[in-house]
Every structure is written in C-alpha cells, then in structure tokens.
Structure 1
Amino acid sequence: MLEIFLQTLPFFALIAIGYLAAATRFFGPEATAYLTKFVFYFALSAMLLRFSSSLPINEIFDLQFGLAYLAGCFAVYALFTIVALMRGTGWAIAAIEAQCAVIGNAGFLALPMLVALLGDVAAAPVLFVLAIDLIVFGSLVVIVITASREGSVSLGALRRIGVGLLKNPMVMSMSLGLIWSALELPVPRPADDFLRILGSAATPCALFAIGASLVGQTAERPAIAIWLSFGTLVIQPAAVAFFALWVFNVDPFAAGIMIATAAMPTAGNIYILAQHYGVAPARVSSTILMSTVASVTTLSFVLSWVIGTGPT
C-alpha cells in the first residue's frame, strides 16, 4: 500500500504544483484555460488516437466488459438520482448529482496515470470506459436536463447532442483511430513518433491543469459534496467491481483497470456542463474539489489491488 502511494505521489504532486501556481497567480485563469485547451484538443487527443489506432478492435470492445461497466454505472446512477429526488430536488439537479457520482476523470487522470503505472496494456480498458462515459452518460445527462425543462426531448435537442459529440476532440480522435484499426492499416513510423511525442505531454500538462482548475472551485453544500464524493470514490468502484467480477466474470486485470478508472475523482467537464445549463455548478465544484483531494488516499487502496492482479 505504501509503495503504491509513493508511486502515485508524483501524479498528485503535479496536481499540487498546478494548484499552487494558480493560487499564487503565477499561472492566471487565462493561462489555465489555454493549457486545458492544449491538453484537450492536442496532447490527450494525440494519445487517444495513437492507442486506438494501434490496438485491435476486439481488445477495446469487449461485450462482457461493457455490460459490466454499464450495469454498475446505471445502478449507481439510479441510487443517486433516487436519493436526490427524495431530498426534493428536481430532475435536472438529480441528473447532475448522479453524473458527479458516476463519471470520474477518465481522460485527464485515469488514462495518463494508469498507462504510466501499468504500461500500454492499460489503455484499451480505459478507452472503452471513456467512450461509454462520453457517449452514453454524456448524452443522458443532457437529455434529462432538457426533458425536465421542456417537458420532452425534441429532434433538435438530439441533433445538438449528436453534433456536440462529433465536435468533441476525444470522441473524434478515438473514432478516427478505431476506423484506422478496423481497416488494419499500419501507422507510419513518422506519424507514430509524432503522436507519441505530442501525447507524452498529456500526462504532466493534464495533471497541472487539474490542479490549476481546482483554485476556482468553491465549497458549497459540503454535506452533499461529501456524499457525492463518497459515491464516486467508493460506491461507484464497488458497484463496478461487483458486476465485473461476480456477475459478468470479466478478466481480472481488465476488471481491475475498469475499477481503478471508476474510482477516479469527479470529472471536471461536469462543472462546465452544470455551469452551461445553470444546474448547481457550485455543488459540482465542491464535489470536484473534495473528491480530488480525497482520492490521494482512496486511489492508493484501489491501485494496490489492481497492480497486484497483473495482466493475464
């Protein structure tokens, strides 16, 4: 456990440096925004494109794996939605709270961290989880918010959701890579070197950007934020573990990667979504802050088990 904690410490040290740089105004909000944009549109997209284009399709899309992850996510999503509705919130806030509990930081944190700790073998399971998060749950929360406000979901709303997915650089890079992989085309050496060099910037820059972005987060409704953080750090990985290991019999190492990805702190893009729709952004902000800080400890427990399973 201590050894794993020491292995993950450099990752959280990078987050801390980003936080200090922004907190002292050495790194201003505009610089944070542009660094995040660089990671999102260039470095992380290059990493995703390189992995998805070089991996066989059957290594990324595994039916049992996908069903296990979806079952765990929907179970937790339902739990947190019901609890929120019982407190008297509307459907929009309930959907945002469920999103906070279910969707961890797979792109900016899980992919670079798990690949660095476990090697390229960790990429395929993380890519599958990320695809489900972006396509299924990224669409679901918008549909629920739209339906709660307009009483129904129009074709125009569905069209906007589809266009939004197509414009997402992570979705685009993974889609292009998967098409390349499906056609069984070799990746030219210069192109692979280019993607590797650019993609290698994703890990330090993404972690730094996470830390810098935490400076703007506020503490609102701490009791709810603690509940949602407990959901994303404990309940979500536990639910995914139950379905992966005891219901769908997923390969233990792949299941471990899925569980570790599910145990990541709440994703930062949920705050952007909440702010865009005006649905409890301060509550989401608190959850991101609390879950990120708490994950320094909780991830060590999860990763110590995952690393212990080893690839089969």
Structure 2
Amino acid sequence: MLPIFLKTLPFFALIGLGYWAGRSRFFSAEATAYLTKFVFYFALSAMLFRFSANLSLAEVWDTRLIVAYLWGTSFVYGIATLVGFLRGLDVPTTAIEAQCAVIGNAGFLGVPMLALLLGPEAIPPVLMALAVDLIVFSSLIVILITVSRDGQASLRVFRSIAIGLVKNPMIVAITLGFLWSGLAIPIPEPMNEFLAILGGAATPGALFAIGASLALTSPDKLHIAGWLTFCKLVLHPLFVGFAALFLFGVDPFKAGVVIAVAALPVAGNVYMLAQHYGIAPTRVSTAILMSTAISIVTVSLVVGWVSTFPV
C-alpha cells in the first residue's frame, strides 16, 4: 500500500499545486480555461494518438472486457438513477447525478497515471473504458436531457450527438491513431518526437488544470456529493470488478485495469455538461472536489490491490 501511495502522491500533489494556484488567484479562471483547452485539444490528443498509433485494434478490442465494464457501469448508473427518482428529482437532474456516479477522470488522470503505475500493458484497457464512457454514456445523457425537455427524440438530437463525438478531440485522436496503425504506416522519427514532447505536457498540464478548476468550486449539498462520491469511488469499481472477474471471466490483469479506471474520481467533463445545460453545476463541482480529495487514499488502495493480479 505505502509504495503505491507514494507513487500516486506526485499526481495528486500536482492537483494540489493547481488548487493552490487557483485558490490564491495566481492562476485566474481565464488562465485555467485556456490551460484546460491546451491540454484537451493538443497535449492529451497527442498522447492518445501516439498510444493508439502504436497499437493495433486487435490488441485493444476485448469483447468480454467491454461488456463487463458496460454491465458494471450500467448497474451503478441504474442505482443512482433509482435513488434520484426516489428523491423526487426530475429526469435531467437525475441523469446528471447518474453521470457523476459512473464517469471518472480517465482522460486527464487515468491514462497517464495508470500507464505509469500498471505499465504500458494497461493502456489498451484504459482506452477501451475511455471510449465506452465517451461514446455510450456521454451520448446517453444528451439523449435523456434533450428528450425530457423536448418531449421526444428527433433527428436533431442524434445529429448533435454525432457532431459532438466527431468534435471530441479524444475520440478523434484515438480513432486516427488506430487508423494509422491499421494502415501499418510507420511514424516518422521527427513526428514521433513531436508527439512525445507535446504529449509529455498532458500529464502535468491536466493535473494542474484539474486542481485549478477545483479551486473555483464553492461546496454545496455535501450529503448529496457524499452519496455520489460513494457511488463513484466504491460502488463503481465494486460492480465493474464483480462483472469482470466473476460474470464475464475477463483476463485478470485487464480486469484489474478497468477496476482501477472505475475507481477514479468524477470527471471534469460532467461539470462542463451540467454548466452547459444549467443543471445543478454546483452539486456536480462539489462531487468532483470531494471525490478527488478522497481518491488520494482510495485510488492507492485499489491500484495496490489490482497490481497483485497476474499479467
């Protein structure tokens, strides 16, 4: 436990540094927004393209893994949805809370951290889990919110979802990387160096941006944030692990990786959705802040456990 905790500590220390910079106003909200944009559109995209371009789709695709991750995530999504309805919430607010319960920071935190802690073999399962989050659940929340407001599903909804997916730089980077790999085109050395340098900025930039963004949060409804944090940090890895290890017989190492992905704190893009649609943004930002703080301990525990799984 202690060696793993010490390895994860620098990642969370970078988040803490960003939090201090934002809290002290050394880093303004505008500066944080531009840093996030740089990481999202350039640095992280370069990292994901480089990773996927050096893998074949056959190396990454694992039907059992995808089904297990979908099953476990959907189960927790259903629990959060049921609790939301029992509390009398409307569909949009319930959908936002369910999103908090299952969508972790796989892009900004999971890819760089798990690749370092669990080795390069962890990259394919992380990419698969990230793709499921981006394609399935990011589309689902848009459908639920739009249909609940308009009263029906329309071609406009699905068109906007398709455009959103095409414009998402993480999806574009992963897809282009696999296409490059599938065409068996070697990456020229100058291009590889360029991607390595630019992608190298993803980890510190993303973690600093997470912290600076959290500094803008004014905590509210702590009991709800606590429930969503429990869903994300405890129930999500628990049910994903149960599905992967017992229901679908996923390879132990890959199962361990997606369990670690499921144990990550609530993703920042959930807040972006909440803010865009005007649905409980303060509640979401509080859940992100609380889950990130507690995950300093819980992620270390989960990674320490799954690192004992055979490769």
Which residues of structure 2 form unaligned runs of 5+? none
Amino acid at match of 1:264: L
SS at match of 2:307: helix
Deviation at 1:185?
A: 2.1
Percent of residue pairs identical: 58
Amino acid at match of 1:143: I
Deviation at 1:187?
A: 1.8
Q: Distance in 2 between matches of 1:167 and 1:263?
A: 27
Deviation at 1:158?
A: 0.8
Residue in structure 1 matched with residue 251 of structure 2 by the alignment: 251
SS at match of 1:308: coil
Cα deviation code 1:195-235 (max 9, x no counterpart): 11111111111111111000111211111110000000000
Q: Distance in 2 between matches of 1:33 and 1:277?
A: 18
Amino acid at match of 2:162: G
Instruction: Establish whether residue 161 from structure 1 lines up as the match of residue 149 from structure 2.
Output: no
Residue in structure 1 matched with residue 193 of structure 2 by the alignment: 193
Deviation at 1:118?
A: 2.4
Residue in structure 1 matched with residue 94 of structure 2 by the alignment: 94
Residue in structure 2 matched with residue 218 of structure 1 by the alignment: 218
Counting only pairs closer than 5 Å after superposition, residues 161-180 of structure 1 correspond to structure 2 as 161-180=161-180
Deviation at 1:184?
A: 2.2
TM-score by length of 1: 0.98
Counting only pairs closer than 5 Å after superposition, residues 228-243 of structure 1 correspond to structure 2 as 228-243=228-243
Residue in structure 2 matched with residue 135 of structure 1 by the alignment: 135
Q: Distance in 1 between matches of 2:196 and 2:68?
A: 31
Residue in structure 1 matched with residue 276 of structure 2 by the alignment: 276
Residue in structure 2 matched with residue 150 of structure 1 by the alignment: 150
Deviation at 1:99?
A: 0.3
Q: Distance in 2 between matches of 1:209 and 1:61?
A: 31
| Higher mean C-alpha displacement, 215-224 vs 284-293 | 215-224
Residue in structure 2 matched with residue 117 of structure 1 by the alignment: 117
Misfit runs of 4+, over 4 Å: none
Amino acid at match of 1:228: L
Q: Distance in 2 between matches of 1:130 and 1:158?
A: 21
Q: Distance in 2 between matches of 1:43 and 1:126?
A: 18
User: Number of residue pairs matched?
Assistant: 311
Q: Distance in 1 between matches of 2:297 and 2:200?
A: 26
Deviation at 1:8?
A: 0.7
Cα deviation code 1:74-126 (max 9, x no counterpart): 11111110110011001111111110000000000000111122232211111
Q: Distance in 2 between matches of 1:204 and 1:270?
A: 21
Q: Distance in 1 between matches of 2:31 and 2:92?
A: 32
SS at match of 2:308: helix
Which residues of structure 1 form unaligned runs of 5+? none
Cα deviation code 1:17-48 (max 9, x no counterpart): 01001111111111111111110001100000
Deviation at 1:153?
A: 1.3
Cα root mean square deviation, aligned: 0.9
